[in-house]
Structure 1
Amino acid sequence: MGFQQGLSGLNASSKNLDVIGHNIANSGTVGFKASRTEFADMVASAIGTSGGTNAGIGVQVGAVAQQFTQGNITVTGNNLDVAINGNGFFILQPSNGSPHTYTRAGNFKLDDLGNLVTNSGEKLMGYPAGSTTLAPIVFPTGAYIAPQKTGSVSAEFNLDARATVGTMYGTSIQVFDDLGKPITVDFEFTNTGPNAWSATAAVAGGAPITLPPLSFDPSSGSITAGATGTLNIPSPPASTAFSTSVDFSRATQYGAKFAVTDLTQTGYTAGSLTGINIGDDGRIMARYSNGVTRSEGSLALANFRNTQGLAPIGNNNWAATIESGPAVPGQPGSGNLGALRSGALEDSNVDLTAELVNMMTAQRAYQANAQTIKTQDQVMSTLVNLR
C-alpha cells in the first residue's frame, strides 16, 4: 500500500463533501437542482502483465451529476411567480447580449420598462401576441394602452307584447370615439302597432336619430325586421364623426315586462396595467384599468436532448453546451414540455435528510482514508528505523 490510494480518497471525499455542502446550502433556493458525486476507481496497468495481479491506485471523481427531478410546488399567491410542472426550462435573455440562458426558477419581477425579469436582470422570453418569434415579454407599465373606437353595439332585450300603441321603453349605453372619449347613447323603442316598434337613438342628449323599425313574429316573438342598423355619431360630441353598427338580432317580444338582459359595445378608453394572469399553457392575460382583458402573448419553455449536459452558471441558470444539444423551444404543455402553474414556485429538490446521511458517510470515508495514510506512515517509520 502506498500513499497514493489514501491521498486520492481524501481528495475524492473532500469533493463529495463540497457537493453535499452545496446541496444543503441551496435547499431553500427556488428551482435548484441537487447534484451527486459519482466515483471511479483508478488502476495502473502495463503491457504484458497478467490480469488480477495489479493493485488499484485509488479513486477519482468520475462526474458530478445533476439531478433534474421535479421539486415540490409551493403556492405563493403572487401572479408573477410561475412553476414548471414537468419538463422544460424558462428561456432568458441576459442583459449583456450573450446567448440565451435557462432556468427553473420562476420568481419573476416587472422592471421599470415593463419587462418580466429574473432577480439578476435577465429578460423572460416568450411569444408576443400574434408572433411565433421568441422575444422578451413586455407590458405597458409606464404608459396607457391606446383607446379603441366603438365599432359595434349589441343589445338583447324583451319588448312587452301586451304594450299598447305609444308605449315607450328605453335604455342607454356609453360608446367611445377615436380618442377614447365616452359618449352616451340613449335608445328608445315605441310601440306603433301590433308586433311593430319604432327605434331611435339620441347621442349625448341631441336630436333623435331614426333607426330601422322593429317587427316581430306574432307566434314566436322573434325579431323579423330591424335586427341591424347603423348609428352615425356626429362631431361634436365625438372628436371625429364615426359610424357604429347596431345589432338587435337577439331582441324578443314576449308577454313579459320590458327588460334588457345584455348590452355591450366593442370600444374602450385608454387604460393602465392593473394585473397579470398566466395560464397553464403559458398564455399571458393582462388586465387594464379600463376593464379590458387581453392576451399579451405566451411564455415559452425549452427542452434539451441531454439535460445532464447543461452547464450550471450560477444565479439559478444553466447554459447550453455541445453535450446538452441545442434548445428546443415550444409552448408549455405541448410535446414533452410541462405545464405552468401561476402563483406558485418550484422548490429545490434537495432532500435534506438524505444529504445529512450522505454527509456523515462522506465524513467517515474521509477519516478512513486519512487512517490509511497514517498506517502507511507508521509502516514507513518502521522500515526506516530498522537496524
Structure 2
Amino acid sequence: MGFQQGLTGLNASSKNLDVIGHNIANSQTVGFKASRTEFAEMVATAIGSAGGNNAGIGVQVDAIAQQFTQGNISITGNTMDVAINGNGFFQVRQPDGSMAYTRAGNFKLDDKGNVITNNLAQLMGYPVDPLTGQRSASSPIPMVFPTGAPIAAKQTDNIVVSMNLDARATDAAGSAGPPPIPATPRSAYGTSINVYDSQGVAVPVSLYFQKTATANTWDIYDKLDDPTATPPVVATPVGQLVFDGTGVLTSGSPLTLTVDPALTNPNNPPAPFPVTIDLSKATQFGTKFAVTELTQDGYTSGQLTGINISPDGTILTRYSNGVSRPEGQIALASFRNTQGLADVGNNLWMETFSSGQPIMGTPTNGNFGALRAGALEDSNVDLTAELVNMMTAQRAYQANAQTIKTQDQVLSTLVNLR
C-alpha cells in the first residue's frame, strides 16, 4: 500500500463533498438540476504483465453528471412565471448575442417590453399574427410586447347579429280595420352598436326591423324618419329579411352598410367604409323580439394591461380596450444528449458538440412538455438524500485519511528497524 491510493481517495472524496455542497446550496434555486460525482478506478499496467496481479493506484473523478429529472412544480400566482412540465428547455438570447437554455421560468418584462431573465437574457419564441393567430415566422425571435406605445386601432369589418323577430307582429303600417290596427313605430324592433373607424373613433350603427304587408318579410333600416328636419328625412330600407313558414331565414344575409366616420369624428375623419352585417342567425318565432348576440370586430387603441400564457406556449396579451389577442408562442428546445450540455451558471446551459444542436419546437408538440403559467419548477435536489450522501462522503474521506496514516506508521516502522 502506498500514499498514492489514499491521496487520490482524499481528492475524490473532497470533490464529492464539493458537489454535494453545491447541490444543497441550490436546493431552493428555480430550475436547478442536481449533480452527482461518478468515480473510476486508476490502474497502472505494464506491457506483458499478468492480469489480476495489480492492486491499482487509487480512484479518480470520472464525471460530474447532472440529473435532468423533473422538479416539483410550485404555484406562485405570478403570470410571468412559467414552468415546463415535461421535456424541453427555454431558449434565451444572452446580452452578448449567444444562445443559452434554461429550465428556470421566472421571467420579467423590462421597460421596452422584452421578456427577460434576471441576468437580462431575452426569451425566444415564434411571432404570431395577432389577427389570425397563425405563426408568422419559422425561426424563434426575442419576445417583445408593446408596453410603451398603445396597440393601433382596428377598423370594424364585420358585425354579427343573432335575434328573434316576433312572428305575431302585424304590418307596421297598421290598418283601418275592422278591427283597426295601429301603426307600429319603427323603433319597436331596433338595436344599435358602436363600430370603430381606422382612427379608433366609435361610430354608432343602428338597425331597425319593420314588418311589411308581405308575409314573413321585414324591411331593414339604418335610421328613423325625421319629420322636423329641413327638408324632412324619410328613411329608405337598406335591406330585407325573408323567412319561411318555419321561421328560418331564407334571404337577406349578409347585409353591407356604409358607415360615415364624419358623424362622430370631426378632425379630418377617414373616408366612409363598408361594414358587413351577418344576420344568418336571425329567426322569426312566436316570442317577443330579443337580441341574443351583437358583436363587432373593431376596437380603439389600448395599453397593455396583462399577459396570460397557455399550456401550448401561446402568449395572450390583454389591453385596456378589452382586446385579448395572441402575440407570440414560446419556443422550446431539446437535445440528443442533455448530459453533454455545458453548465455556465445563472441557471443556464449552452450547447456543445457532445450535446448536439438544439431541436426547436413548441410546447405540447412532439415530445415537448406543456407549460404551466403562474408556476415555477423547483430544484430537483432531494435534501434528505444529499445529507445521507454527505455523511457517506465524510466517512470515505476519513477512511482515506486513515490509509495515509497507516502507511505513515508502516513506513516509520521500517525506518526504525535496527
Is TM more than 0.5 here? yes
Contiguous gaps of at least 5 residues in structure 1: none
**Which residue identity lines up with residue 148 of structure 1 in the other structure?**
K
Post-superposition offset of 1:209: 6.3
Q: Deviations over 1:69-116 (max 9, x none)?
A: 111111112221111111111001001112x10001111111111111
In 2, distance between residues paired with 1:177 and 1:283?
A: 29
> What residue in structure 2 maps to residue 126 of structure 1?
125
Pick from 161, 164, 177: which aligns with 2:197?
A: 177
Counterpart check, 1:196 vs 2:222: no
In 1, distance between residues paired with 2:391 and 2:45?
A: 34
Counterpart check, 1:301 vs 2:332: yes
Q: Deviations over 1:194-217 (max 9, x none)?
A: 3222211139x9965631122221
> What residue in structure 2 maps to residue 80 of structure 1?
80
> After superposition, where does 1:1-387 map in structure 2 within 5 Å?
1-98=1-98, 100-129=99-128, 130-166=136-172, 167=184, 168-193=188-213, 194-202=215-223, 208=235, 210-217=237-244, 219-237=245-263, 238=265, 239-240=269-270, 241-387=272-418
Post-superposition offset of 1:277: 1.5
Equivalent position SS for 2:90: strand
Q: Deviations over 1:328-367 (max 9, x none)?
A: 1111122221111111111111000000000000001101
Instruction: Tell me the number of residue pairs that the alignment of Structure 1 and Structure 2 aligns.
Output: 384
Q: Which deviates more, 298-307 or 226-235?
A: 226-235
Q: Deviations over 1:167-192 (max 9, x none)?
A: 33111100000100011112111222
> TM-score w.r.t. structure 1 length?
0.96
Contiguous gaps of at least 5 residues in structure 2: 129-135, 173-183
Post-superposition offset of 1:225: 2.9
**Would the alpha carbon gap of residues 132 and 209 (structure 1) be closer, same or farther in structure 2, given more than 3 Å must change?**
farther
**Would the alpha carbon gap of residues 277 and 6 (structure 1) be closer, same or farther in structure 2, given more than 3 Å must change?**
same
In 2, distance between residues paired with 1:224 and 1:39?
A: 81
**Over aligned residue pairs, what C-alpha RMSD do you find?**
1.6
**Which residue identity lines up with residue 302 of structure 1 in the other structure?**
A
In 1, distance between residues paired with 2:310 and 2:283?
A: 38
Equivalent position SS for 2:212: strand
Equivalent position SS for 1:253: strand
Higher strand content, 1 or 2: 1
Equivalent position SS for 1:56: coil
In 1, distance between residues paired with 2:333 and 2:261?
A: 53
Q: Determine what percentage of the aligned residue pairs are the same residue.
A: 64
**Would the alpha carbon gap of residues 384 and 247 (structure 1) be closer, same or farther in structure 2, given more than 3 Å must change?**
same
Equivalent position SS for 2:57: strand
In 2, distance between residues paired with 1:183 and 1:86?
A: 49
Equivalent position SS for 2:397: helix
Q: Deviations over 1:17-58 (max 9, x none)?
A: 000000000001111000000111111111232222222111
In 2, distance between residues paired with 1:105 and 1:83?
A: 7
In 1, distance between residues paired with 2:279 and 2:388?
A: 74
Post-superposition offset of 1:235: 4.3
**Which residue identity lines up with residue 163 of structure 2 in the other structure?**
F
Equivalent position SS for 1:202: coil
In 1, distance between residues paired with 2:62 and 2:39?
A: 5
In 1, distance between residues paired with 2:101 and 2:342?
A: 10
Q: Which deviates more, 220-229 or 53-62?
A: 220-229
Post-superposition offset of 1:145: 0.7
> What residue in structure 1 maps to residue 180 of structure 2?
none
Do the aligned partners of 2:167 and 2:287 also contact (CA within 8 Å) in 1? yes
In 2, distance between residues paired with 1:307 and 1:379?
A: 48
Post-superposition offset of 1:281: 1.3
In 2, distance between residues paired with 1:320 and 1:48?
A: 42
Equivalent position SS for 1:210: coil
In 1, distance between residues paired with 2:286 and 2:95?
A: 67
**Which residue identity lines up with residue 178 of structure 1 in the other structure?**
S
Equivalent position SS for 1:296: strand
**Which residue identity lines up with residue 314 of structure 1 in the other structure?**
G
